[in-house]
Amino acid sequence: MTTKLKEVDVVIVGMGWTGGIMAKELSDAGLTVVGLERGAPRSDAGFSVPMIRDELRYAVRNELFMDVSRDTLTFRNKPAERALPMRRLGSFLPGEGVGGAGVHWNGQTYRLSPHDHALRSRVEGRYGKSFIPQDMQLADWPMSYAELEPYYDKFEYVAGISGKAGNIAGRIQEGGNPFEGPRAREYPNPPLKPSLASEMFTETTNKLGYHPFPRPAANMSRPYTNPDGIQLGECQYCGFCENFGCEANAKASPHITVIPAALRNKNFSLKPYAWVTRVNLAPDGKRATGVSYTSVLTGEEFEQPASLVILCAYGFGNVHLMLLSGIGKPYDPVSDTGTVGKGYCYQVATVVQAFFDDRNFNPFMGAGSLGVVIDDFNGDNFDHGPVGYIGGASIYSASLGGRPINQRAVPPGTPRWGTEWKKATARWYNHTLQMSVQGSNMASRYNYLDLDPTYRNAFGLPLMRMTYNFTDNDEKLSAHLTTVAHDIARAMGPTHLGPKTPRRAPYSIVPYQSTHNTGGAIAGHDPGKSALNRYLQSWDVPNVFVMGANAFPHNSGYNPTGAVGALTYWAADAIRTKYLKDPGPLLHT
Amino acid sequence: MVDIARRDVLTMAGAVGVGVAIPVSSAAAEAPPAAARSYQFFDLNEVAFIEAFVDHLIPADDLTPSGTELGISIYIDRQLAGAWGRGARMYLLGPWAAGTAQQGYQLPLPPADLYRCAIRAVEAHCAAVHGASFDRLQPAQRQQIVQALSEGRLPLQEVPAQAFFDMAYANVMEGLFADPIYGGNKNKQGWKLVGFPGVIAAHAENIEHFRGKPYPVEPLGIADLS
């Protein structure tokens, strides 16, 4: 039996960064808002020393991530293969519970470049239409960098980002990123303290003529009070950031910022353990009437009627709910029609390791976003003509921890066990510098999401199916930019240099690579080619808005959360100032 | 002194009943209390295998005691006896197919059952090829078996060698480096091996004061602060 609840103005599905921002913005506007979260509640008292410093529990047994025994996805490299379930987490680690992946993230918070926002126009303009590979679905974002700038700014101040501006209102700033789009003002907090690895990377990339700058971090470089009056502590460089919650409240996370800020409003209520199974539509399919959910505590089923439904789950969850609910037309790669599930992108990521006999890195002193990055090979900051691919990468040195189960390396040629392995592990643990190449990924015709015909989740619903592989473009990018990173490492004069191992097809779902899964419900100018309009409103069901990286038409060479936050504030503003005055499609087709 | 294999000791004890005097070696005299050496999941044959396997990967030498002495076999036993070993946080529903390497683990077995099947299969191989159980092989023969397992080359009945080795290898590393509350990393010797300081980690000042310099501290674990 289903219990029908009292209608509210807004129901939000998912309580991470996007759900928390929406809850705050829309409850501030006086609307009655219910936030549903499928996982457990979390608060600022949720993590404490010493229990949080448990690498096995959090980083190996995956305590804070989605539980794939209940719901997972199936995967194959290409349509001709049979998709099989992701039976364990590996390649990516979506979060679960109040705060979502914003609890266990590292906090790297970038803006996309103006180039990224106008990708197709810029590529065609500089290299010509014929430069774009046949199956690459290259698109302009439906909002410009300049339009989004105030919202990037808003998110950076709410999240207390520590960094150094490179371009304030068109004036290039020493020590920042000279390639970035103009910003209205400096970051709210100064950069984190550099590690030895940071200093070495800075010195070498400067010598090579590149432009290093500190990675913008949601780890607080000093105590900070955000514009909502929320207080954050100073980062302790504990090295337990990614995969962990922060006991010092020094990593901006939704459960300690936007969600408690929203909860000050009596018209917002938060319901954890509420697993949404469907967005309910009116008989004509053009209007949502609310959502159905199951309490995972009692098994009871509820219907929550609402005038406005905002999907704020992880990107996979949003696309899954759209497919399960019949919102928009599922994408079909053969006919290249439909939009929901289209444009799934990932990250083309590689790592370079260098070993220095005489350097003590103390890798256990680190922070999620501590490090230095160059943007010289990102976006269109270099000439792509000679290299023959589209896209780029941020190339950085990271000092995010030295947790010994997962974060240790030995030089090439070391045996995998025995006394010799032990000697090398003891010798090099404190002497390894790690660099990363975070490559962009363009949408491609046969990389997409749909419903699996065979496998089901704990609610009896079809799992989502991922079809994904690296393309020729990805392989060219990775070969070139992994070489660039390898050359930087060589220029530092290491005792041993790790192998150069660019990404090649086939993509594997097994080794961890990145939790930057984008696309699947992309925003665009054309309802025939995108699921969402420029305000992240469904073209097909206009009282449904869909937040998150699923809206990205491509995945850039930056971490996505800065753009996710900015897009959410941008959409919230459109709902408040445009939609509420005249509910309906914000753009007419 | 006659080297009596641990399995024989235990078998003898079982055969003649509780309360009988068991030969005690000097090493056994220094062994941890019985509860810490008692297995919850592995049977006697499996204990012989896992202790030999763990000690082959992590041998006693100048750097550390053997893997078994570090508690790694006990760590693995506890993991297999607990929720993880029984398949918590795994999607275990069918149908099943081998799939490609890129699709990852596709066996219907939770970790505990994979260990059980794989140990039986490795022992069957050792018996057929060498006429002895894994723990009684010469070190060079053992190395051959482990090497072949790690490359997925060992022909095993029922289970893929690679899936088992990958899991067991990861578990050995966990047992060496996870917090001692899980039964391995005894006396934090895994952490001491590399110089990891453990759970005290307020480094906001250290990151400046010790930049580029050694940071020698006695590591602390969760139990030290609880």
CB proximity B209 to A under 8 Å: no
- A431 annotated active-site: no
Q: What is the pLDDT of residues A204-216, one digit of tens each?
A: 999 999 999 999 9
Helix B161-177 with B111-130: angle, nearest 10 deg: 110
pLDDT at B6 over 70: no
CB proximity B191 to A under 8 Å: yes
- Host domain of residue B67: 7-13+32-93+101-194
For residue A400, which of A257, A237, A158, A545 has the smallest C-alpha distance?
A237
In the stretch 142-171 of chain B, residues with CB closer than 8 A to chain A read: 146, 150, 169
Asked if the structure places residue B209 within a domain, the reply is no
Average pLDDT over residues A544-549: 98
Catalytic-labelled residue, pool A516, A525, A554, A588: A516
Does an H or E element contain A451, and which? Answer: strand A448-456
* Residue of A405, A428, A503 to mutate, testing the B interface (most B Cβ within 10 Å of its Cβ): A405
Q: What is the pLDDT of residues A163-205, one digit of tens each?
A: 999 999 999 999 999 999 999 999 999 999 999 999 999 999 9
pLDDT at A428 over 90: yes
Q: What is the pLDDT of residues A31-70, one digit of tens each?
A: 999 999 999 999 777 799 999 999 999 999 999 999 999 9
Q: What is the pLDDT of residues A275-297, one digit of tens each?
A: 999 999 999 999 999 999 999 99
B chain contacts of residue A194, beta-carbon cutoff 8 Å: 211
Instruction: Test B99 with A82 for CB contact under 8 angstroms.
Output: yes
pLDDT of residue A574: 98
**pLDDT range class, residue B31, cuts 50, 70, 90:** low
Structural domain total, chain B: 1
pLDDT of residue B104: 97
The label of the residue with tokens 């009692």 reads A298
pLDDT of residue B51: 98
A chain contacts of residue B225, beta-carbon cutoff 8 Å: 49-50
CB proximity B97 to A under 8 Å: yes
pLDDT at B3 over 60: no
**What's the mean pLDDT when you consider all of chain A?**
97
Please tell me the distance in Å from A362's CA to the nearest CA on chain B.
Answer: 7
Q: What is the pLDDT of residues A256-278, one digit of tens each?
A: 999 999 999 999 999 999 999 99
**pLDDT range class, residue B26, cuts 50, 70, 90:** very low
Nearest to B201 among A53, A360, A408 (CB): A53
User: How far is residue A20's CA from residue A270's CA, in Å, rounded to a whole number?
Assistant: 10
Average pLDDT over residues B61-71: 98
User: How far is residue A146's CA from residue A142's CA, in Å, rounded to a whole number?
Assistant: 12
Q: What is the 3-state secondary structure (H, E, C) of A316-342?
A: HHHHHHHHHHCCCCECECCCCECCECE
Q: Give the ipTM of the model, two decimals please.
A: 0.96
User: How far is residue B172's CA from residue B219's CA, in Å, rounded to a whole number?
Assistant: 20
Q: What is the pLDDT of residues A323-349, one digit of tens each?
A: 999 999 999 999 999 999 999 999 999
pLDDT of residue B36: 58
User: How far is residue A485's CA from residue A433's CA, in Å, rounded to a whole number?
Assistant: 12
Average pLDDT over residues B182-194: 98
Classify B189 as helix, strand or coil.
helix
A chain contacts of residue B222, beta-carbon cutoff 8 Å: 50-51, 53-54
Extents of the domains making up chain A: 2-16+29-76+84-91+124-246+266-306+342-515+544-555
pLDDT of residue A256: 96
pLDDT of residue A132: 98
Instruction: Test A426 with B179 for CB contact under 8 angstroms.
Output: no
Classify B199 as helix, strand or coil.
coil
Q: Which of A256-265, A463-472, B153-162 has the lowest mean pLDDT?
A: B153-162
User: How far is residue A565's CA from residue A148's CA, in Å, rounded to a whole number?
Assistant: 10
pLDDT at A104 over 80: yes
User: How far is residue A391's CA from residue A384's CA, in Å, rounded to a whole number?
Assistant: 8
CB proximity B95 to A under 8 Å: yes
For residue A532, which of A503, A552, A510 has the smallest C-alpha distance?
A552
A chain contacts of residue B92, beta-carbon cutoff 8 Å: 69, 87
Task: List helix spans (H) across B82-188.
Answer: 111-130, 139-150, 161-177
Read off the amino acid at residue A576. R
Q: Is the peptide bond before A506 cis (omega within 30 degrees of 0)?
A: yes
pLDDT of residue B30: 52
